Structure formats: C-alpha cells, structure tokens
Amino acid sequence: MDVFKKNIGEVFDGRYKINRTIGVGGMAIVYEATDLMTNKRVALKMLKDSISDNTQALRRFINESKAVAMLNHPNIVKILDVSVKTEHKFIVMEYIRGITLREYMNRKGTLDWREATEFISQILLALDHAHMKGVIHRDIKPQNIMVMEGGVIKVTDFGIAKIPNAETVTMIDHAIGTIYYISPEQAKGKKIDERSDIYSLGVMYYEMVTGKLPFLAENSYGIMLKHISDTPTPPKKLNPKIPLGLEQIILCAMEKDVVNRYQSASQMLRHIYRIKKDPTTIFQKQTPAPRTPTAEVAIRRTTVHPEEHENAPQKVVPQKISPRTPQSHKAARPARGRRTPEYVPFSVVIVICIAFLALAIIGFVILFYSLANAKVTLPEAQAFLSFAEQAPSTLREEACRFIGYPYL
C-alpha cells in the first residue's frame, strides 16, 4: 500500500475526512479532504510521519501557519485550521482548484508576455499585502504559485517565511528548486528584506517570458555564485517579442545590489501597469531614493514618483535666476560652526586707559597729601623718588612738588 494513501478515508480531529492525495512535498503531504462540519472541500497539508519529530521541520510547519494566519488577501491561500498537538500535525487550507505555475509553464512553454504580466501583477499584489504585514515569503518560485480557473493566482507555501517577532528557519537542506530563484543576499547568508522576494519574482518573470532560467551551472554552488556575480542575458535577446520596457522591469527586479532594485512590490507594480497600458513605454533610469526603515514600509509604498504618476501632470513654473558674483556667493554661504573672534572697539580702550590714569592720579594725590603733613626723612624721600622715576613725567613733577624737592 502506498504510504501516501494510507490516510485516505480517515477522519482527523473528528472533522476532516481525507478523500485523496493532491501532492507530496519534501516534508508534507497535501490531501483533498471534506470538512464534515461545513460539508465543504478543503486542502489538508499534513507533516510527514518520518519528520514529525524533527524540531526544525515542525518549526517551519508552525511558522507557515502563523505567517498565513496574519494575511487576508484574495491572491494568498487562506488557512482555516491548524492542529499540531496531536500525533498527526496538519494545516487546513482553502481548497484550490488548479495547478502550480510550474505545471502550467511545463504545459505551455514560453508564456505570452501579456499573460505572464497578468500573473506577475497578481503575485505582486499578494506580496505587497504580505510585506505590509511584515511577512517576507523568501521562497518565491513557480512551485509555490497556484493557477486557478480563470487565471486567478494564489501564492502558497510560506514555510520559510520571515515573520515579525518570530524565530525563523534557516536555508539548510532547502529544496534545490529554490536555488534557481535565490537572491544574491540570500545566497550570501546576509540579512534579507522584501527586496529579496522581488529578486526571486524577477527571475521567475524572466523564465516565464523567455522559457529559460537566467543562471544554470553544474551544481547548486555554481548557480548561487552566478546569482551573486553574473549578469543575465537580456530577455529581449531570447524573446524579441517582449517590449523593451518589460525587459527593463525584469532587469531592475534582478539587480544584484538591493539599492538599485525595486524598493517595494508596489513600485514594481506601477511600472507593470504602465507597460500593460502602453507597451511602448521606456523607463528612464533614476537614482534610487534612500530606503526608509522597515517600520515605515507602509509610508514608502504610498509614495508616487513624479515620472510614474499617470493622472497628475506636473506643472513646471519657470523661475528667474540672478547671476551670482563672487561677493554674493560669499554672502550666501552659510555660517560655519567656528565662531568669528569679537574685537573691542578702540574708543572703549581709550576710555578704559583714561579711567585707570585718573585712579592713579587720585591715588598719588592722596599719598602725597599724607606725606606733606608728615615728617619725611632723607631715606624715605630717596625711596619715593626712586619709585617716581618710573612714573610718567607729569606724575613725577607732582610728586616732587608735594615733598619739596625740585623736579629735574
């Protein structure tokens, strides 16, 4: 008996009856089941018995349920129930009638750029919602995208998602399929943010419209090195039918340096809307604006660059510019941090000198008056005259007059 079919017909938690196997992944089996309480069809993702005791696998499994439980978007699969306390650990999700994007691409080959762009638009809407909630998928690839009837897209498998205030799993022993879509910073083991999802989406977009992956090598390590350092072949060389503006979008999403990449899903989406409206659109390369912190992601996504706004024409008012002379340039120069020294006016110096001189004269007058009424001995007079020799001539004359000696 097939180990993956052994649960068919079983009822779990007294509520979910297993009908058939939908698919088997690296760590879980997805069943179609019936919710006996609502009589609705659901998808039941059950952790394999062989790894149900694996701490890392269980953490990843629980992480997926937490990540998706935070999200509510028509392009993201919904979680209905979680059971991890019993022997069988599973997540109950909405049932999706469709196939993976990988299966869809295998059937159709290279996609028409318009169809691919429609799919990418829906994925970007889903990612924008997730990023606004602080959830980063970290594993965007065709296997994790479901194509439903009518071309509706659903993003699935948030198993290694990065969620706020939670311990996340590492990339060790991760599926080989991810290596083809891994971002340079993820390959280096560096800290990642929502721009890593944008890179992976750019690689997937590249493959959808060209029918080829941008980087191939003999092993996983070689592929990662190419993501880090190699430049992809321009998509238009592989498929001349795609618009030049679309090629620009793909290559911008795949920039090695996150600063040169689209800074948000909504920013990339605005360019895609312009291409859908006018395929002849060509984008001018801009110097990226400084990225705001993660806590301000919501504010950044509402920012519209002037050249990207379609419904608000910019009115330019000419301004008269006066020529600047060297003198006016110096006058306009802002004050520097170092203070200019302050000088005392010359008039103030004169007043201070006169005041000190007046005080000196008064002092000498008082002293001389005292000496005139006292009996002055010759040694005292000689000592005084010796001192007076160092004083200004006017003072020496006055002093001699007081003590009765002629002024020479």
How confident is the model over 316-347, as pLDDT tens digits?
Answer: 344 444 444 444 444 444 444 444 444 445 56
Residue 318 CA to chain centroid, in angstroms? Answer: 35
Q: What DSSP element (H or E) covers 20?
A: strand 16-24
- pLDDT single digits (tens) 274-290: 999 999 999 987 655 55
Exposure class string for 27-58: b at 16+ Cβ within 10 A, else e: bbbbbbbbbeeeeeebbbbbbbeebbeeeebb
Q: Express each pLDDT in 1-23 by its tens digit.
A: 456 678 899 999 999 999 999 88
Residue-level pLDDT at 320: 41
* CA–CA dist 68, 89 (Å, integer): 17
Tell me where in the chain the CATH 1.10.510.10 domain(s) lie: 97-285+295-305
* Beta-sheet pairing, 16-24 with 40-47: unpaired
d(CA 22, CA 30): 5
* Mean pLDDT to the nearest integer, 51-62: 74
- pLDDT value at position 399? 47
In the chain, where does the domain assigned CATH 3.30.200.20 lie? 1-95
Q: How far apart are CA 389 and CA 269, in angstroms?
A: 97
Q: What is the pTM of this model?
A: 0.66
Q: Side chain identity at 92, as an amino acid letter?
A: V
Percent of the chain exceeding pLDDT 90 equals 47
The amino acid present at 286, given as its one-letter code, is: Q
pLDDT exceeds cutoff 90 at 129: yes
> Has residue 313 got a pLDDT over 80?
no
Active-site positions read: 149
Residue 14: predicted pLDDT: 93
- Ramachandran sector of residue 99 (left: φ over 0; alpha: ψ -120 to 50; beta: rest): beta
pLDDT digits (tens, 9 = 90+) for 388-397: 455 455 545 5
- In degrees rounded to 5, what are phi and psi of residue 385? -65, -35
DSSP state of 230: P
Q: Sheet holding 28-35: strands in order across?
A: 11-12, 16-24, 28-35, 40-47, 90-94, 79-83
Please report the beta strands in 25-89, taking only residues with DSSP state E, as ranges in sequence order.
28-35, 40-47, 79-83
Position 79 confidence tier, pLDDT thresholds 50, 70, 90: confident
pLDDT at 402 > cutoff 70:
no
153-155 and 98-100 as β-strands: parallel, antiparallel, unpaired? unpaired
106 pLDDT more than 90:
yes
| Per-residue pLDDT tens over the stretch 158-214 | 766 555 555 444 444 344 448 999 999 999 989 889 999 999 999 999 999 999 999
What is the per-residue pLDDT for 17? 97
Q: 352-373, pLDDT tens digit by residue?
A: 767 767 777 776 666 555 555 5
Which pLDDT score, from 0 to 100, does residue 51 have? 75
Give the distance from CA 21 to its chain's centroid: 41
Mean pLDDT, range 214-240, rounded to an integer: 96
Is 97-285+295-305 assigned to CATH 1.10.510.10?
yes
Residue 155, both tokens: 């993003």
Q: Is the pLDDT assigned to residue 219 strictly greater than 60?
A: yes
d(CA 1, CA 27): 20
For residue 173, the model assigns a pLDDT of: 39
Domain 1-95: which topology? Phosphorylase Kinase; domain 1 (3.30.200)
Bigger pLDDT: 156 vs 235:
235
**Can you give the pLDDT at residue 271?**
98
The residue with greater pLDDT, 207 or 300, is 207
